[in-house]
Structure 1
Amino acid sequence: MATVTNGVGYDPRRWWALGALVASMLTLGFDMTILNVALPTMAEDLGATTGEQQWMADAYVVVFAALMLPAGLLGDRFGRRLMLITGLGIFLAGSVVGALAGDVTWVVAARAVMGVGGALVMPLALSVLPSLFGPDERAKAIGVMSAASALGMPLGPILGGWLLDHYWWGSVFLINVPMVGIGITACLFLLPETRDPASPKVDTVATALTVTGLGALVYAIIEAPTRGWGDPLVAGFLGAAAILLAGLVLRERRAARPMLDMELLGHRGFLVNTITATLVTFVLAGLLFLLPPYLQAVLGHDALGTGLRLLPMMAGLMVAARGAQPVVARFGPRAVVTCGLVVLAFAAFLGSRTTSDSGYGFAALWLTVTGLGFGFAVVPAMDGALAALPAARAGSGSGLLMTLRQVGSAIGIALLGSLLAGVYRDRLDVTRLPARAADTAGESVVAAHLVAERTGTPGLAASANSAYVHGMGVVLVVSGVAALVAALLAGAFLPRTRPASDTGSETPAMAEPEADARQ
């Protein structure tokens, strides 16, 4: 295929090319949720503490968030197909390293490498679409891409659970190999090369400030429950994070063509909707981290059963996401976003009433309501954020929105996971255990069950279950408060915009790919 610079002229094999992009997005969709189901098994086999489990999840998200914008610029300058294939290759390498890893350090390193690959794949897979499809076909193509990405979320836990029941935990990494292989092959033969020679250069200093600043912040949050917030190391990393991120903001504000266009936050509609979407992502990431240990260690389900039991939340989210636009057209985005956040808060407060004897039926109820709240809050919020901007700023706006949501995900795993770890450790009764066994039991609920089995300590497993559920309840209360704060912000400060059917605004999926192509 010839190189396309301006997107004029559409290849007759474009729908086959879309298949290459679908395979890429489906792989990333799997990876968002498949690891969560595997974490309890990995904690048992690798002896990973709660903090180390947080790093296994967060290493990917931190790198992904920090590199997404410069990755898009690399594609604009050097060719989107070339960088997309490079990203898939890096993701493949990280997956192989993760599958073969023998300790936590190598798993974390593998996840970070996968984050580099994911950061290249996500924006570039979207930005290729305008060069493949005309306006009359683009909406359908974007719908297929969005469905592929969304399909990976519920399928991830089920596929991960099935793999863990039949193979070792490394199989959740190895499953990426055939998917990525299909994606690379299809990209090589079916995708045209596209680029934008006028795009700005990658700001290596801003990229370095983003990576180190976010990394220092997440490290401090994860280490705080063990070391204490007043520990010199924790305080030092928090201070370093503040300095680095402040330096990033100052540099981007002075740049003629910044990667992170901070001026966009001056648009009230964009700012409030972005804060809302980021807070929702913060809560979702935290819940997906804490739920698998509850379902496996406390309720005693196997990995596949755990994946299946996460479906009520995923189903609620997808149903609400599909039904959000008609409701917005009837009542307006401000009302729908606010009500969605209130529903999310109610679900979190309801879930905080869970006890170690509640059983799955009660969990299924509040998980379903949680998914509904997520869907009705985040879809109109993303739509409203992009619709609040002039068309010429849609590219930088979608990039900033996607980046801040990933930052919210990383901090959600770090902060809510650390809160859970601290409450669990304080609540666990280890009075009858030797010091070393007590320390091990305090690392995670999975470790406590192993210690109870090996030492025959009466009541330790029950104490661990009770402590974990109590910590989960505290996390859900905090999540509910965060959702209520977001609801108050949305209700008070979102503009009184007309329903989407009257304004003719684009959906977020429609806006993002075109926007990224212009960056």
Structure 2
Amino acid sequence: MATVMKSPAAARQDPRRWWALGALVASMLVLGFDMTIINVALPTMADQLGADTGEQQWMADAYVVVFAALMLPAGLLGDRFGRRRMLMTGLAVFLAGSLLGTLAHDVLPVVVARAVMGVGGALVMPLALAVLPALFAPGERTKAVGIVSAASALGAPLGPLVGGWLLDHFWWGSIFLINVPMVAIGLTACAFLLPETSDPASPKVDVASTALTAAGLGSLIYAVIEAPGRGWGDPLVLGMLAGALVLLAALVLRERRVPRPMLDMSLLRNRGFCLNTMAATLVMFVLAGLLFVLPQYLQAVLGNDAFGTGIRMLPLMGGLLVAAKGAEPVVRRFGPRAVISGGLVVLAFAAILGSRTDVGSGYGFTALWLSVAGLGFGFAVVPSMDSALGALPVERAGSGSGLMMTVRQVGSALGIALLGSLLAFAYTRELDTGGLPGPAGDAAGESVVAAHAVADRLGSARLAESADAAYVHGMGLVLLVSGVAALVTALLVAALLPKAGDGPGQDPDDMGRAPADARE
């Protein structure tokens, strides 16, 4: 049984395409919760491995840096050598990294394992989206994109949930071991259910351009990750930002000179693709802010453990799942432009509502605005991603989705870095450390979790109350900025995004059509 679905055209009529979608969901789910699962394990790992703060940061961030830096070349590799083949290669690499993490007994092997997993994730993420046009006709593709997007987003709050449960029952290496059965299922399903599609005429892999892309994006992500801790004026941060600018400028100049560029700038001249990609990216910027501030609020201020924190973030996913299920008929009725801008307005309302949180608000209020935020996020990001993919010829789906996911990942990293800096500034400014010894005051200023640890050690209820109030103030500021950003994006989408059917590649009859040279 080589491949159940013989061609993309046949795949769109085969009921087993929904089983194939299940393989993609399993792959995206494991990528999603690997973004956050390590955070809940870091205190245990730091204690057992003797890791300092910088080493803990890189155990978490090595995955994100490599992931974002390699997604764009990964999309091109799928176009040229086969999307199913490269998707399975990515899953295999991710599996190898997970096994390495399970066996690690020191900080450096953990960082290496996370980086290897980032390589695998960079192959899986864009290609999981790139195969959707071959599996589903335009009428079903919105639903498929919604399901895959929901699986990816669901993983983020599942990370603390799964991680907390595993740490309660097993050793810290179990956060890597949990990936093994899920990836194995994904590999098996991809092998038997996904059709192979490619574009043999796509540009050859340009090693120099790939290196410039990876180094430039890697430098940018490194800088925005390090900036909250080091400060934006730190020489290393400024040097990495300058290096990223030079490397990415060199990439653009090189790609404009070669006859068959790896990074086709014409993708960005496609108005529908460009604006939908930017809309999805700005949604991810806002969502990154929400997911960054919430766990610390739920854990430190409201006093939940890691497992309880994950459970209490589920209303966000509930709203997202409802929106993912309902996006297709709503888009069919009102068009993507109205639905995307409407979703952004709902997301803005939820964030601004959340900014009214105070120390005495309790979880009920949080659950309310989280549910609304999930609805807004789903109705904004699902149609924007689907419209961006639909604006491209199917033979460019790999490189196009690679570019889209790269920009989205950079948007997420920027959201965490910029909004994290805003949170840290507001928290330290509002925290009252008067009367504390110097070292204790410095420690309390690092985070609300550290402040509670200092308060417990000194028996200072006043410090704990001040830390809670300062954090809630900073969280409110972050949510307010996120809400304004979502509202501005909604206005831009309503004013600039073309209607369905406008521009090249937007004809619904052409969306999802397989290339003639797609391989079986």
- Alignment TM-score, normalising by the size of structure 2: 0.83
Name the CA distance, whole Å, in 2 between partners of 1:125 and 1:60. 18
1:459 aligned counterpart, secondary structure: helix
Name the CA distance, whole Å, in 2 between partners of 1:366 and 1:334. 24
Name the CA distance, whole Å, in 1 between partners of 2:273 and 2:80. 28
Name the CA distance, whole Å, in 1 between partners of 2:228 and 2:262. 34
C-alpha change, 1:16 and 1:401, in structure 2 (3 Å) is: same
Structure 1 residue 362, shift from structure 2 partner: 0.9
Structure 1 residue 374, shift from structure 2 partner: 0.8
Correspondence for 1:373: 376
Tell me the alpha carbon deviations over residues 315-371 of structure 1, each in whole angstroms, 9 at most, x when there is no partner: 111212222232233333322222221211111111111122211111111111111
Name the CA distance, whole Å, in 1 between partners of 2:439 and 2:516. 55
Correspondence for 1:36: 36
Name the CA distance, whole Å, in 1 between partners of 2:445 and 2:112. 25
Correspondence for 1:198: 201
Are residues 1:315 and 2:318 paired? yes
Name the CA distance, whole Å, in 1 between partners of 2:405 and 2:514. 12
> What amino acid is the match of 2:39?
L
C-alpha change, 1:186 and 1:487, in structure 2 (3 Å) is: closer
C-alpha change, 1:295 and 1:41, in structure 2 (3 Å) is: farther
What are the ranges of 5 or more consecutive residues in structure 2 without an aligned counterpart? none
C-alpha change, 1:463 and 1:259, in structure 2 (3 Å) is: farther
Name the CA distance, whole Å, in 2 between partners of 1:213 and 1:406. 14
Segment drifting more, 120-129 vs 25-34:
120-129
Kept in 1, the 8 Å contact 2:80–2:199? The answer is: yes
Are residues 1:255 and 2:239 paired? no
Tell me the alpha carbon deviations over residues 248-276 of structure 1, each in whole angstroms, 9 at most, x when there is no partner: 22223333333332222223333222211
1:234 to 227, 234, 237: 237
- Alignment TM-score, normalising by the size of structure 1: 0.83
Correspondence for 2:491: 488
Kept in 1, the 8 Å contact 2:130–2:401? The answer is: no
1:258 aligned counterpart, secondary structure: coil
Name the CA distance, whole Å, in 1 between partners of 2:122 and 2:153. 18
Identity %: 65
Are residues 1:173 and 2:197 paired? no
Tell me the alpha carbon deviations over residues 172-201 of structure 1, each in whole angstroms, 9 at most, x when there is no partner: 322101222333455567777766543322
Are residues 1:86 and 2:60 paired? no
C-alpha change, 1:5 and 1:336, in structure 2 (3 Å) is: closer
Name the CA distance, whole Å, in 1 between partners of 2:425 and 2:247. 27
1:88 aligned counterpart, secondary structure: helix
1:336 to 335, 339, 352: 339
1:430 aligned counterpart, secondary structure: coil
Structure 1 residue 394, shift from structure 2 partner: 5.1
Tell me the alpha carbon deviations over residues 44-79 of structure 1, each in whole angstroms, 9 at most, x when there is no partner: 652789887765554333322332232243345555
Name the CA distance, whole Å, in 1 between partners of 2:221 and 2:292. 15
1:221 aligned counterpart, secondary structure: helix
> What amino acid is the match of 1:227?
R
Name the CA distance, whole Å, in 1 between partners of 2:149 and 2:517. 17
Are residues 1:453 and 2:456 paired? yes
Name the CA distance, whole Å, in 2 between partners of 1:163 and 1:282. 29
Name the CA distance, whole Å, in 2 between partners of 1:513 and 1:50. 50
1:462 to 459, 462, 465: 465
Kept in 2, the 8 Å contact 1:23–1:180? The answer is: no
2:303 to 300, 305, 321: 300
Name the CA distance, whole Å, in 2 between partners of 1:514 and 1:287. 40
Tell me the alpha carbon deviations over residues 393-435 of structure 1, each in whole angstroms, 9 at most, x when there is no partner: 5554333222211221222222222332333333333344444
Task: Report matched runs for 1:390-469 at 5 Å.
Answer: 396-469=399-472
Task: Report matched runs for 1:108-187 at 5 Å.
Answer: 108-125=111-128, 147=147, 150-151=150-151, 153-154=153-154, 156-157=158-159, 158-185=161-188
Structure 1 residue 293, shift from structure 2 partner: 1.7
Correspondence for 2:362: 359
C-alpha change, 1:512 and 1:303, in structure 2 (3 Å) is: farther
RMSD of aligned Cα (Å)? 3.9
Name the CA distance, whole Å, in 2 between partners of 1:367 and 1:53. 29
Name the CA distance, whole Å, in 2 between partners of 1:51 and 1:464. 23
Name the CA distance, whole Å, in 2 between partners of 1:460 and 1:62. 36
C-alpha change, 1:332 and 1:3, in structure 2 (3 Å) is: closer
